[in-house]
Amino acid sequence: MTRLRFFSRVAFLCNVCFLAALFIIWLDHPPEGELISLVIVLGFVLAFIINFLVNLVYGIQMLLRKPLRNFIPFWLIIANFLFLIPQIILLLK
């Protein structure tokens, strides 16, 4: 479960980068640089993959009736799931 907690935190950080990447794309003249490129790659590429896998493991753990709340904060589970919804919508467009 410590690996799942670690990947849950990584998924949350990638989801924050997803929000930042959406904001960067929304700007008329987005800034350039290595940090901006890193945020966009983490937000648009890695966030989809990691967040999907983490939520898949959450679902499997819930089907097996294993307690997640003892190891992972409930707000983190909800936040990662809520970020997954717009990511799937953006992926399907």
Q: Would you say residue 19 has pLDDT above 80?
A: yes
Confidence of residue 80 (pLDDT cuts 50, 70, 90): very high
pLDDT of 68 over the 90 cut: no
Residue type, 83: F
- The answer on pLDDT for 14 being more than 90 is yes
CA distance 4 to 67: 12
1 DSSP 8-state letter? -
Single pTM value for the model:
0.88
Spell out the SS3 assignment of 3-34: HHHHHHHHHHHHHHHHHHHHHHHHCCCCCCCH
